[in-house]
Amino acid sequence: MRKAIVVGSGAGGATVARELGGDFDVTVLEAGKPFRPFSCSMSILEQIRKSGLFFDEREIRWVFPAMQVRKTPEKMVLVNGIGTGGTTPIATGNALRLDHDLRRLGIDLDEEFRKLLQEIPVSTGHQRHWNPVTWNLFHICRNLGLEPQPTPKMGDYGRCVHCGRCVFGCPYGVKWDSREFLRDAVSRGAKLVTRCKVDSIVIENGTVKGVRVKDRFSSRFIPAEIVILAAGGLGTPAILEGSGIPCYSRLFVDPVLCVAAELKEAFQNTEVAMPFIFQRDHIMVSPYFDYLSFFFNKSWRKPASRIVSLMIKLSDSNEGGLYRGRAHKALTASDRNYLREGVDLCRELLDKMGIRKEDVFLGTLNAGHPGGMLPLTEREATSLHPSALPENLYIADATILPKSPGGPPILTIMALAKKISSQIRKRFGT
C-alpha cells in the first residue's frame, strides 16, 4: 500500500484523506492542535473590551487559539483557523456551489457535488428560526428586486439554540465541519498527527520523497510516495516556496467589510451567521455580526444586542502574494469602487429600516478566503495537477482556484478535492 501524506486537515485535506483511506497508507499532518470550541463568556469579553485592553485583532489568539489573525503591510486583516478541521470549524457553514471559473476551464464537478450533498446534511431549515430583524431585512431586499436567497447550511440547524457562536466553533454540534470527514478517514485507517508543521517538501531528481517537519528545537524527515498539500491558500504557497517551487504573485482573499448601525433589540449577535445572501456585480451581501469589529473597532462600542450589520464580501482581483514569507495584499482601484458601491447599497437597505445614513458605521476590513497563487489552467483541467509540481505532489485547497469565488468556498474545495483524489487513485493506486 502506497504511503500518502496529506498536509492540513481542513476542507480539502480532510476530504482527500477520507477518499484515499483504505486504498493508501494515509497520514494527515496538522500544524495546529485538536480544535475546541470557544468557551469563554461573551459578557466577560465585553468587559475586557470596555477596559480598552483589546486594541489589535491579533490578540484574539489570547482567548481563542484556534483563530489565527495576521496583518499585511497594507493593513489587511487576514483570518484563518489553525487546528483540526482547519478553518471549517470557525466558518459559517455555508454550502454554496461556486465552481463557475473552474467550469470555464473545463472542470466538471457535477458528480462530486452530487455525492457531497448525499454525505453532508444541507438545508435551509434555519429560516424558520430567523428573528424579526432578519425577516425585515430579507423582505426589504426582496422588495428592491435583489433576489435574496436563504443560505444553504451544512449541519442540523433544527437543533440550533441561537447562541451566536457559529464563528467560534458550534458548541452544540449543529454545524457540520471537516472534522467529520477527518474522523471517517481515521476510521478507515488514516493516521492523524497534530502539532506537526510541515516546513518543506523533500524532492530528489524531480520526485517527491517526503516532507520535512520542524518543531521548536529540531527537524525531521517523514517519507512518502505521494504528498497532497492542503495547508490553505497561504500555508501551501509558503511550503512550496520553502521547497524551491515558486508560486505566482497573484493572491485573492475575498475581503469582507461590514456596514452597521445601532438598532434597539437587533439581537443579530444571537442569529445564525449569514442567514441569507444576495449577489450583485462583484459582491455578495448578507446579514452578519462581525466579532472582529465588535471587539477591536472603536466604532462598534455599542451593546452587542443593539448592532445590526450587513456584510459585503468582495470578489477581489488577484493582486498580491507572498514576499519573504509574509502575505502582501492591497485592493485595486476597481476593488475599492465595488466596495463603495456595496457600502452605498447597504446604507440604502438600512435606511429602509429607518436608520439615518449619518448613524451608519463601518467595520474592520478583513478577509478569510486566500487562494489563487498556483491556479489551474485549461491545460490542467483533466489532470488537476499544476505543471510546476513533481508528478507525485498535488494541491487540494484554494491555492489552485483560478479566481476569487466571491463567497464561502468550502463546498467547492471539497468537490475539487474529491475529483483530485480520483485522479490520484487512477495514477498511483494499486
Whether the predicted pLDDT of 184 surpasses 80: yes
User: How does pLDDT run across 38-54, given as a tens digit for each residue?
Assistant: 877 777 777 777 766 67
On whether both 171 and 181 belong to a single domain, the answer is no
Helices (H), strands (E): how many in the chain?
Answer: 11, 21
Average pLDDT over residues 336-344: 96
91 falls within a domain? no
pLDDT score recorded for residue 97: 97
Output the CA torsion sign for 11, 13, 14, 15. positive
Could you tell me which of 224, 229, 220 has the C-alpha nearest to residue 209?
224
The amino acid occupying position 10 is G
pLDDT score recorded for residue 207: 96
pLDDT score recorded for residue 51: 67
Grid coordinates in use for 410? 468550502
On whether both 228 and 130 belong to a single domain, the answer is no
Contacts with 175 (C-beta within 8 Å, 6 or more apart), sequence order: 89, 93, 153, 154, 155, 157, 166
On whether both 394 and 347 belong to a single domain, the answer is no
Q: Quick one: pLDDT band at residue 216, thresholds 50, 70, 90?
A: confident
pLDDT score recorded for residue 49: 73
Instruction: Please give the order of strands across the beta sheet that includes 197-204.
Output: 197-204, 207-214, 219-223
On whether both 187 and 230 belong to a single domain, the answer is yes
Average pLDDT over residues 381-386: 96
For residue 132, give the CATH number of its domain: 3.30.410
On whether both 159 and 278 belong to a single domain, the answer is yes
On whether both 211 and 262 belong to a single domain, the answer is no
Average pLDDT, the chain: 93
Could you tell me which of 299, 297, 293, 294 has the C-alpha nearest to residue 256?
293
On whether both 157 and 266 belong to a single domain, the answer is yes
Q: Quick one: pLDDT band at residue 201, thresholds 50, 70, 90?
A: very high
Average pLDDT over residues 231-248: 95
Whether the predicted pLDDT of 162 surpasses 90: no
Average pLDDT over residues 115-122: 97
- Domain span at residue 151 reads 42-82+121-175+255-321+328-367
Count of the separate structural domains present in the chain:
2
On whether both 294 and 357 belong to a single domain, the answer is yes
Rounded CA separation 69/367 (Å) = 10
Rounded CA separation 323/246 (Å) = 11
pLDDT score recorded for residue 53: 64
